[in-house]
């Protein structure tokens, strides 16, 4: 236990300059005011990817450099290193984690970390070889001056033990670079296989659903007719339903094709009748996200505020009151805003692991 802590302590000390360099590089990003979730993502990237990748790349470069420089022609490996650097560089800049589902974020960090390490290692080595070629006359001059001073550097550099050790170290470093490159390729392919069958149609429905929720909220907060409000709410819930069907996510029992059909036919009905159809659906949709919050106080507060707002409107109708349309629409608009935020944040969690019933009993609506 003590030895493990000692190793971690030494590694932390070794990582300090690399961590400082990484944080300095992305300082502008961190100063732009990311929210707590985004700040946690940045912190994870620094600690789990940038620091170890930079550290390992520099160590591999130091390990491989002596053996390369002791070769009769260091340029013989430059071609190989240039290929690795070019391939990893192109792949690195082209690769995007947008296609990695959020629950596989740690895997995505590993994937890009391996690619970054291979890219930086080969890039550093290519730079050292290029620098050696440029400075070769000066290096030879230094060796000649040392010989004139009675120091035979050639004998040291031609030492069998040194050359054998340096060559083995270079081979080991080369194997590690290739291993990281192969690892990144396999991980990328593994992630790609998870996306098989993830059609553009699902993305289209997601974008339509998110846009429709926000657009309806915007309309409900502005000047509009009762008929337009009723119609837009039906459209928003319909797009939401289609997205859930496409990704095979569970749907509450209150949101069905029959319910949507009734809503679509109710655009000209009175406010109370339509709202009494909509409120149970909104409560059930909110409830679907609650299991994803954990101990996150901000998300729980947001959920509770939206639920209390819509329940207050429901109580008004139950008591026989007829709240102003502006108040009712603002309450529904707030709920739609909250749903759109939750949908954007938890779309991956909504996807079911196995195909099951397309509708589950509603947590708030009594089942007959």
For 343-353, what is each residue's pLDDT tens digit?
888 877 776 43
99 neighbors 195 (Cβ within 8 angstroms): yes
List of residues 6+ apart from 349 with CB closer than 8 A: 102, 103, 292
Per residue in 211-231, pLDDT (tens digit) is: 888 889 899 988 888 889 889
Residue 331 pLDDT = 92
At 178, list the tokens. 């290739």
Per residue in 277-302, pLDDT (tens digit) is: 999 999 999 998 988 888 889 999 99
Whole-number Å distance between alpha carbons of 166 and 71: 10
At 110, list the tokens. 């590993």
Mean pLDDT of all residues in 331-358: 75
Residue 282 pLDDT = 94
Whole-number Å distance between alpha carbons of 271 and 263: 12
Count of positions (residues) in the chain: 368
Q: Tell me which H or E stretch contains 251.
A: strand 251-252
Residue 129 pLDDT = 84
Scanning 195-225, the segments in alpha helix (DSSP H) are: 200-220
Kindly report whether the global pTM for this prediction surpasses the value 0.75.
no
Which of 251, 246, 244, 249 has its CA nearest to residue 199?
246
| Residue 156 scores a pLDDT above 90 | no
Scanning the chain, the segments in alpha helix (DSSP H) are: 2-25, 27-30, 36-45, 51-69, 75-94, 105-148, 153-157, 160-194, 200-220, 226-246, 257-264, 271-287, 297-318, 325-350
At 43, list the tokens. 């912190």
Residue 361 pLDDT = 41
Whole-number Å distance between alpha carbons of 212 and 249: 19
Burial of 364 (0-12, 13-18, 19+ CB in 10 A): middle
């Amino acid at each position: 236990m003590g030895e493990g802590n000692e190793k971690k302590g030494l590694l932390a000390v070794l990582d300090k300059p690399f961590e400082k360099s990484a944080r300095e590089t992305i300082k502008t990003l961190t100063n732009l005011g990311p929210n707590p979730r985004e700040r946690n993502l940045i912190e994870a990237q620094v600690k789990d990817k940038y620091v170890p990748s930079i550290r390992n790349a520099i160590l591999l470069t130091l390990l491989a450099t002596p053996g390369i420089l002791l070769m009769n022609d260091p340029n013989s490996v430059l071609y190989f290193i240039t290929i690795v650097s070019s391939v990893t560089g192109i792949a690195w800049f082209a690769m995007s984690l947008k296609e990695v589902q959020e629950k596989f974020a740690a895997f995505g960090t590993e994937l890009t970390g391996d690619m970054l390490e291979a890219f930086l290692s080969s890039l550093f080595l290519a730079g050292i070889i290029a620098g050696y070629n440029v400075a070769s006359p000066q290096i030879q001059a230094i060796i000649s001056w040392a010989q004139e001073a009675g120091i035979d550097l050639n004998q040291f550099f031609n030492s069998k033990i040194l050359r054998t050790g340096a060559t083995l170290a270079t081979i080991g470093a080369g194997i590690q670079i290739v291993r990281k490159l192969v690892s990144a390729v396999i991980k990328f392919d593994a992630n790609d296989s998870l996306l098989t069958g993830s059609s553009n149609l699902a993305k289209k429905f997601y974008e339509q659903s998110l846009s429709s929720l926000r657009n309806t909220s915007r309309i409900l907060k502005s000047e509009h007719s009762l008929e337009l409000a009723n119609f837009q709410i039906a459209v928003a819930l319909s797009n939401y339903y289609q997205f859930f069907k496409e990704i095979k996510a569970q749907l509450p029992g209150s949101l069905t094709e029959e319910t949507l059909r009734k809503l679509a036919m109710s655009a000209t009905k009175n406010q109370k009748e339509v709202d009494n159809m909509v409120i149970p659906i909104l409560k059930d949709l909110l409830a679907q996200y609650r299991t994803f919050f954990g101990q996150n106080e901000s998300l729980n507060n947001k959920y509770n505020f939206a639920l209390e707002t819509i329940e207050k409107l429901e109580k008004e109708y139950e008591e026989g009151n007829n709240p102003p349309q502006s108040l009712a629409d603002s309450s529904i608009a707030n709920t739609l805003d909250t749903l759109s935020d939750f949908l954007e944040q938890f779309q991956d969690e909504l996807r079911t692991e196995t195909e099951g019933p397309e509708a589950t009993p509603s947590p708030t609506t009594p089942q007959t």
